[in-house]
């Protein structure tokens, strides 16, 4: 089944259950000071859960453009290394605002997966919230009983608060969830260890596809829970993961959501996907990141030096750096992928087509400017090597190059290694730590799915990593 049809079937299924199909909200959020990017389907409906406003229908469904690169949901470092986390992805969802509850949500999810999409029941596992004594939250017995009517008990797993309890923040609506996981391993692998033991263990072939959240409590300021007068359902299914299952492949990148992009990357860079892990990671990073960046620009968010723009710039520079280092791309090339992306996704997301020229121009400019930075860095690194006859480059020097000139540390290490120089990584880390401590004063609060952000703070971006360096020069 083509991805286009998979998306359509989802929406039409819920339409047949009296849901209104609504458009995706923008991925870049402009009017919420607490959240920079949409990171889940429910974001645009937040006010309805809080009891403010009335939805068009008490049942809605959509596919939502999400970006998970900051705050509680930051998957950036996984992207490319694994095959099922993206920066930008689509989350298919169905909602009940004070309408149906667990019974329908569970039964319909099962019906859609096993009868419409015809997924083999034998590869599915479901999870139920196990309860939490400390916080006096009961086990989700209701969901357990409902699932027991549908699936054998050995397919039901109990999950902890981290995986199976959703909260909007320190206060407010919350509730248990049931997740659906798939086991795509070979029979031989399955014989070695049962799939239920691998659920939520970061196994690349035993992955979560759908999360059904049952919003039934309100957490009060004193931490206690009270029953909500109206109960809600909030579900989210990863579209690309669903495509992986339905197209019989073992990686999101082998679905038709990504193969046109990957073919184009192979063509432009003269590389081959599937031969060498390092190259594959680079290709996946680029295929993923061009989507995040193009969708952001199409939403009106240009790369920049603060706030959301800074995050987008960082993502693009990560793609450029992977191309530069592992695919030998010394000239702008990421912008050339926008055409393929727009052909692939333009029907579902017309804004991509409408903004194609802008996306290409902005990305090309960004690429050229960052490539100039990299060139400058290479010259400076050459100088450092000349000034270091004992071939032992200090962490301080590398940090200077990183901090003042924006030169990525892993590139420094790579080049030094190739030329027979060593690098004091430990000292570099110490310098980095000192810098982190200095900027920590600009602290932010992460509570639940909402991250407090200050659009003026470049330090607001969470997660220092080896890639931090690449965006120092803005
Ligand atoms: P995971 O445990 O795999 O990181 P999650 O529990 O963080 O997923 P949810 O917040 O429950 O994910 O989101 C609902 C669904 O969205 C998940 O079941 C999954 O299919 C999908 N999803 C979540 N994060 C990503 C991502 N980074 N890329 C692609 N799909 C994702
Ligand atoms: Mg996650
Ligand atoms: Mg999870
Ligand atoms: Mg989940």
Take atom 26 of ligand 1 and give the residue whose Cα is closest: 85
- 234-247 pLDDT tens trace: 999 999 999 999 99
Are 210 and 281 in a shared domain? no
Q: Which of 257, 234, 326 is nearest to 84 (CA)?
A: 257
* Residue with token string 């199909």: 21
Q: Is the pLDDT of residue 461 over 70?
A: no
The CB of 85 under 6 Å from ligand 1? The reply is yes
The CB of 185 under 6 Å from ligand 1? The reply is no
Q: Is the pLDDT of residue 455 over 60?
A: no
Asked if residues 407 and 471 have their Cβ atoms less than 8 Å apart, the reply is: no
Q: Is the pLDDT of residue 107 over 80?
A: yes
Using the mean position of ligand 2's atoms as its centre, give its distance from the Cα of residue 202 in Å.
Answer: 10
Beta bridge partners of 132: 137
Let me know if residue 227 belongs to a domain: yes
Averaged over 159-187, what is the pLDDT? 94
- The torsion angles phi and psi of 467, rounded to 5 degrees, stand at -95, -10
Looking at 222, 246, 270, the residue that finishes a domain is 246
Asked if residues 131 and 175 have their Cβ atoms less than 8 Å apart, the reply is: no
Using the mean position of ligand 3's atoms as its centre, give its distance from the Cα of residue 221 in Å.
Answer: 26
Looking at 223, 246, 269, the residue that finishes a domain is 246
- 304-340 pLDDT tens trace: 988 899 899 989 999 999 999 899 999 999 999 999 9
Let me know if residue 10 belongs to a domain: yes
The CB of 165 under 6 Å from ligand 1? The reply is no
CA distances from 33 to 30, 53, 95 (A): 8, 19, 24
Let me know if residue 296 belongs to a domain: yes
Using the mean position of ligand 2's atoms as its centre, give its distance from the Cα of residue 422 in Å.
Answer: 37
Task: Using pLDDT thresholds of 50, 70 and 90, give the confidence band for residue 33.
Answer: confident
The verdict on ipTM greater than 0.95 is yes
Q: Which of 213, 187, 63, 233 is nearest to 127 (CA)?
A: 213
Are 210 and 315 in a shared domain? no
Complete DSSP assignment for 274-314: TS-HHHHHHHHHHHHHHHHHHHHHHTT----SSHHHHHHHH
Q: Is the pLDDT of residue 386 over 90?
A: yes
Query: Total domain count for the chain?
Result: 2
Let me know if residue 251 belongs to a domain: no
Are 81 and 220 in a shared domain? yes
What's the domain range around 171? 3-246
The CB of 130 under 6 Å from ligand 1? The reply is no
Are 92 and 63 in a shared domain? yes
Q: Is the pLDDT of residue 171 over 90?
A: no
Q: Which of 4-8, 31-35, 258-262, 451-455 has the lowest mean pLDDT?
A: 451-455
The pair of three-digit structure tokens given for residue 166, joined into one six-digit string:
């959703």
For residues 456 and 304, what is the distance between their CA atoms, to the nearest angstrom? Answer: 11
Let me know if residue 253 belongs to a domain: no
Q: Which of 44-48, 102-106, 373-377 has the lowest mean pLDDT?
A: 373-377
Are 235 and 271 in a shared domain? no
CA distances from 248 to 92, 183, 204, 289 (A): 19, 12, 14, 24
Are 113 and 204 in a shared domain? yes
For residues 85 and 71, what is the distance between their CA atoms, to the nearest angstrom? Answer: 16
Are 17 and 142 in a shared domain? yes
Are 346 and 300 in a shared domain? yes
Task: Using pLDDT thresholds of 50, 70 and 90, give the confidence band for residue 292.
Answer: very high
Let me know if residue 275 belongs to a domain: yes
The CB of 237 under 6 Å from ligand 1? The reply is yes
- 115-136 pLDDT tens trace: 999 999 999 999 999 999 998 8
Separation of CA 89 from chain center: 6
Cα-only R_g, the chain: 23
Are 264 and 209 in a shared domain? no
CA distances from 292 to 67, 222, 256, 260, 316 (A): 7, 39, 17, 16, 8
Best of 165, 180, 211, 292 for a ligand 1 pocket test (most atoms within 8 Å of beta carbon)? 211
CA distances from 364 to 134, 299, 367, 368 (A): 53, 18, 5, 6
Q: What is the pLDDT of residue 52?
A: 87
Let me know if residue 454 belongs to a domain: yes
Are 210 and 279 in a shared domain? no
Are 241 and 287 in a shared domain? no
Let me know if residue 252 belongs to a domain: no
Q: Is the pLDDT of residue 457 over 70?
A: no
Complete DSSP assignment for 379-402: HHHHHHHHT-TTSEE-HHHHHHHH
Helix ranges, 114-197 (H): 141-148, 161-164, 187-192
Helix ranges, 75-175 (H): 102-111, 141-148, 161-164
Q: Is the pLDDT of residue 354 over 90?
A: yes
Looking at 206, 224, 246, the residue that finishes a domain is 246
Are 59 and 132 in a shared domain? yes
CATH number of the domain residue 188 falls in: 3.30.930.10
Using the mean position of ligand 1's atoms as its centre, give its distance from the Cα of residue 435 in Å.
Answer: 32
For residues 403 and 109, what is the distance between their CA atoms, to the nearest angstrom? Answer: 50
DSSP character at residue 100: -
Does residue 366 sit in helix, strand or coil? helix
Burial label, 456 (beta-carbon count in 10 A; 0-12, 13-18, 19+)? exposed
For residues 453 and 143, what is the distance between their CA atoms, to the nearest angstrom? Answer: 36
């Amino acid at each position: 089944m083509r991805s286009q049809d998979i998306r359509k079937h989802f929406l039409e299924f819920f339409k047949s259950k009296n849901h209104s199909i609504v458009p995706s909200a923008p991925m870049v959020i402009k009017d919420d000071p607490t959240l920079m990017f949409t990171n889940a389907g429910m974001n645009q409906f937040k006010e309805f859960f809080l009891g403010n406003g009335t939805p068009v229908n008490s049942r809605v469904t959509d596919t939502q453009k999400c970006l998970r690169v900051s705050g509680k949901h930051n998957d950036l470092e996984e992207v490319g290394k694994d095959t099922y986390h993206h920066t930008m992805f689509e989350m298919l969802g169905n909602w009940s605002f004070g309408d149906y509850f667990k019974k329908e949500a569970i039964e319909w999810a099962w019906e859609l997966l096993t009868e419409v999409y015809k997924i083999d029941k034998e590869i599915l596992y479901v999870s139920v919230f196990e309860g939490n004594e400390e916080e006096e939250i009961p086990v989700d017995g209701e969901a357990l009983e409902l699932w027991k009517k549908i699936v054998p008990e050995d397919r039901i797993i109990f999950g902890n608060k981290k995986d199976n309890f959703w909260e909007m923040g320190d206060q407010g609506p919350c509730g248990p969830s049931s997740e659906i996981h798939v086991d795509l391993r070979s029979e031989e692998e399955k014989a070695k260890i049962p799939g239920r033991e691998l659920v939520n263990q970061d196994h690349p072939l035993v992955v979560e596809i759908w999360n059904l959240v049952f919003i039934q409590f309100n957490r009060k300021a004193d931490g206690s829970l009270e029953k909500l007068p109206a109960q809600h359902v909030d579900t989210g299914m990863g579209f690309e993961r669903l495509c992986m299952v339905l197209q019989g492949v073992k990686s999101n990148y082998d679905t038709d959501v990504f193969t046109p992009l990957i073919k184009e990357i192979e063509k432009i860079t003269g590389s081959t996907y599937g031969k060498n892990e390092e190259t594959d990671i680079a290709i996946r990073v680029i295929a993923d990141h061009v989507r995040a960046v193009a969708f952001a620009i199409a939403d009106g968010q240009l790369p920049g030096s603060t706030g959301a723009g800074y995050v987008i710039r960082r993502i693009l520079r990560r793609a450029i750096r992977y191309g530069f280092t592992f695919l030998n791309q010394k000239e702008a090339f990421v912008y050339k992928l926008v055409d393929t992306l727009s052909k692939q996704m333009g029907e579902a997301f017309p804004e991509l087509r409408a903004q194609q020229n802008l996306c290409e121009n902005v990305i090309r400019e960004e690429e050229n400017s960052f490539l100039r930075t990299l060139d400058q860095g290479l010259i400076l690194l050459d100088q450092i090597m000349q000034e270091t006859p004992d071939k032992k480059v200090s962490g301080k020097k590398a940090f200077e190059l990183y901090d003042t000139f924006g030169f990525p540390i892993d590139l420094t290490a790579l080049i030094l290694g190739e030329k027979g120089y060593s690098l004091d990584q430990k000292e570099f880390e110490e310098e980095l730590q000192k810098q982190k401590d200095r900027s920590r004063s600009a602290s932010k609060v992460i509570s639940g799915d909402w991250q407090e952000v200050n659009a003026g703070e470049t330090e607001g971006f969470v997660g220092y990593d080896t890639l931090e360096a690449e965006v120092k020069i803005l």
